[in-house]
Structure 1
Amino acid sequence: MTDMTGWSVERLHEDHSQALRVERVLYEDATGHQRLRVIENPTFGRVLTLDGVVQVTERDEFIYHEMLTHVPIFAHGTAKRVLIVGGGDGGMAREVLRHPVGSVTMVEIDAGVIDFSREYLPAISDGAFDDPRLEVVIADGADYVRRTEGGFDVIIVDSTDPVGPGEVLFTDHFYGHAARALAPGGILVTQNGVPFLQPEELRGTMRAFSQIFADATCYLATVPTYAGGAMAFGWGTDGDARRTDMADLSRRVAASGLTFGYYSAEVHKGAFALPPYVAKLLP
């Protein structure tokens, strides 16, 4: 990411970029794994970047975190054990812990991300790190999934893009180990970038999912921070949770007593309706 006269320019794509005006740099440092930076922007509030790529902003993080969390948990209906791979900012844990789950394990490779997120982005975790149901494991997510005894009802892969430390989380081996770590009827969901600009990212995941799961597809949400259109989330399960009818899904949401900024039962169902340019990336 390069600053030019007060602008922070992302270089994730070869021929496309986005820029955010920098009001203030709050934090900048390199850990053993990544370069961390927090800036303030008038529209998006505090913005976290890793190696120059925007990861999360205070203003629109709720969309990403709600859709990766509540879609699988409400679809499952009785999730008690949840694994989050990545998610060092704490937003995913925050949303999962709004449900009456018994335990949440969060595996994050970089303790530095957690430490400075708690200090500089506390609104995102909103106390999640203090919840006794949350176990934080500092380890390589791929290695943890390979070694775990499993039994998870939902696994959420909140990874960075498939470069650097996050690259291994997009491999066939990782997906196979994650599938083995699911309990019967369990659901694996993954972040798969913006299909309009990153089609191969989704295509690769869907190819692997189709070989592993009885039900393999993706669903969409529009997150303003991630330029290029709707963002895709991979979905894999051997159960029939995606086919939960609208009446049952609406009852589950109403019974939870939870309120949301983006998620709803209607959005949940509609998110699986894929435009042709996305659908053609699936096997």
Structure 2
Amino acid sequence: MAVEHYTLDFKLCAPADHSATVRGLQSIFQEQEMTETVHDTEGHGYLATFIGKNGRFAILRVHSHGLVTFDLQCCEGDDITQVDNLLNALEKKLKALLHGNVQRVKRLPALQRGAEVDRYWPTADGRLVEYDIDEVVYDKDSAYQNIKILHSQQFGNILILNGDVNLAESDLPYTQAIMGSGRECYAGKEVLILGGGDGGILCEAVKLKPKMITMVEIDQLVIDGCRKHMRKTCGNVLDNLKGDCYEVLVEDCVPVLKKFVEEGRTFDYVINDLTAVPISTAPEEESTWEFLRLILDLSIKVLRSSGKYFTQGNCVNLTEALGEYEELLGKLSCKVDFSKEVVCVPSYLELWVFYTIWKK
């Protein structure tokens, strides 16, 4: 059973008289039949916990620096009307008690903890987002990662790998951006896709009449899940691992890239859609940056002189990480140049950077 966590904050212009404030609130807690326990804060304001009917648990804190916080935990299924009445009464009473000293009042929607369907996923820059997820449609642990596909009312099904939002059925802008945003001619070209187990890039690239697409995805269970539950993204291209103009290799891309280098095989386009956290069986994978450098070096070696390498970067707010990546581009075995584009990816709820890289 989930717990609903409610919060009510009063930011004050100056520290409050906690004794008078608490006395003014006691009647509300008595009406709710909540038992108070006061805790010693060693002079740092006032702290009390309250236990009431139906397992309700509350924390009231009057901070000495000028903040009043109230946290209320209720079990799922508790009487919402009673909970609202308690919060409304507290908010009204505190406004009256702290009249003239209130800078801001903030009451957040209830946070659900321990629910069967997890709705909370962080953005790349560490902000917590609550999605409108109402169903878990796929949940598997492969040899490499946890794979979830969750249904969102806004974004359709969302692929989440090891807790990282990868792609939703709404996210065609991501796929278009990582393929060059319509500026490239794929007709008659040879394309290499690294990762891309959701099938989105493969589906869009097939429509552009390339000569041949080779896709290298390490995790069969990602393909299986997306084939069934992400069809708005992948269409029917994952129904078979081979088609008229494509082949999907279920392998680690590092040894495959090395093999292509040895064979002298080259491509017009290399599209890197690997997960943000490296997944590889290669012993060279000592860190994220070393892995990125390895993939870049190998990819540039299999890229034709007139070819282009496309990859996602990161959230625009992560300027330090983006800067490090761009520094890395200057340390490759082959000199390269690059351009970048910022795109809003719907389900990411943030702006995302995409890179186009080519040989100098």
- Asked if 1:107 is matched to 2:216, the reply is yes
Distance in 2 between residues matched to 1:161 and 1:51, nearest whole Å? 10
> Alpha-carbon deviations, 1:5-25, whole Å to 9, x = none?
454212465742222132111
Name which of 249, 263, 286 aligns with 1:137: 249
Distance in 2 between residues matched to 1:64 and 1:17, nearest whole Å? 21
The alignment's TM-score, normalised by the length of structure 1, stands at 0.74
Residues 28, 110 of structure 1: CA spacing in aligned structure 2 closer, same or farther, 3 A cutoff? Answer: same
Structure 2 contact 194–216 (Cα < 8 Å) conserved: yes
Distance in 2 between residues matched to 1:213 and 1:79, nearest whole Å? 27
Distance in 2 between residues matched to 1:168 and 1:123, nearest whole Å? 33
- Asked if 1:64 is matched to 2:186, the reply is no
- Asked if 1:210 is matched to 2:330, the reply is yes
Distance in 1 between residues matched to 2:186 and 2:135, nearest whole Å? 43
Distance in 2 between residues matched to 1:158 and 1:237, nearest whole Å? 17
Residues 169, 221 of structure 1: CA spacing in aligned structure 2 closer, same or farther, 3 A cutoff? Answer: farther
Structure 1 contact 210–216 (Cα < 8 Å) conserved: no
Per residue, is there more strand in 1 or in 2? Answer: 2
| Residue aligned with 1:189, SS | strand
**One-letter code aligned to 1:143:** P
Residues 45, 10 of structure 1: CA spacing in aligned structure 2 closer, same or farther, 3 A cutoff? Answer: same
**One-letter code aligned to 2:273:** D
Structure 1 contact 70–96 (Cα < 8 Å) conserved: no
Residue 9 of structure 2 is matched in structure 1 by none
1:33 Cα offset (Å): 0.6
| Residue aligned with 2:150, SS | strand
Residues 97, 78 of structure 1: CA spacing in aligned structure 2 closer, same or farther, 3 A cutoff? Answer: closer
- Asked if 1:40 is matched to 2:136, the reply is no
Structure 2 contact 148–161 (Cα < 8 Å) conserved: yes
- Which of 164-173 and 204-213 deviates more? 164-173
> Alpha-carbon deviations, 1:114-134, whole Å to 9, x = none?
111101112211122343211
Unaligned runs of 5+ in 2: 1-111
| Residue aligned with 2:128, SS | coil
Matches within 5 A, 1:254-265: none
Residues 13, 190 of structure 1: CA spacing in aligned structure 2 closer, same or farther, 3 A cutoff? Answer: closer
Unaligned runs of 5+ in 1: 240-283
Per residue, is there more helix in 1 or in 2? Answer: 1
Structure 2 contact 125–315 (Cα < 8 Å) conserved: no
Distance in 1 between residues matched to 2:300 and 2:147, nearest whole Å? 31
Identity between Structure 1 and Structure 2 (%): 22
Residues 11, 67 of structure 1: CA spacing in aligned structure 2 closer, same or farther, 3 A cutoff? Answer: closer
> Alpha-carbon deviations, 1:133-166, whole Å to 9, x = none?
1111111122222221331000000121135559
Residues 17, 216 of structure 1: CA spacing in aligned structure 2 closer, same or farther, 3 A cutoff? Answer: same
Distance in 2 between residues matched to 1:143 and 1:3, nearest whole Å? 42
- Which of 145-154 and 103-112 deviates more? 145-154
Distance in 1 between residues matched to 2:338 and 2:120, nearest whole Å? 35
Distance in 2 between residues matched to 1:15 and 1:56, nearest whole Å? 18
Residues 227, 142 of structure 1: CA spacing in aligned structure 2 closer, same or farther, 3 A cutoff? Answer: farther
The alignment's TM-score, normalised by the length of structure 2, stands at 0.59
**One-letter code aligned to 2:330:** S
Distance in 2 between residues matched to 1:118 and 1:146, nearest whole Å? 28
Larger Rg: 2
**One-letter code aligned to 1:207:** E
Give structure 1 regions of 4+ aligned residues with deviation exceeding 6 angstroms.
none
Name which of 183, 203, 207 aligns with 2:304: 183
- Asked if 1:221 is matched to 2:343, the reply is yes
1:80 Cα offset (Å): 0.8
1:210 Cα offset (Å): 3.1
- Asked if 1:84 is matched to 2:193, the reply is yes
Structure 1 contact 175–208 (Cα < 8 Å) conserved: no
Higher relative contact order (CA 8 A, sep 6+): 1
- Which of 201-210 and 6-15 deviates more? 6-15
Distance in 1 between residues matched to 2:291 and 2:320, nearest whole Å? 11
Pairwise CA RMSD of aligned residues?
Answer: 2.5
Residues 89, 231 of structure 1: CA spacing in aligned structure 2 closer, same or farther, 3 A cutoff? Answer: same
Distance in 2 between residues matched to 1:170 and 1:202, nearest whole Å? 16
Structure 2 contact 313–355 (Cα < 8 Å) conserved: yes
- Asked if 1:154 is matched to 2:251, the reply is no
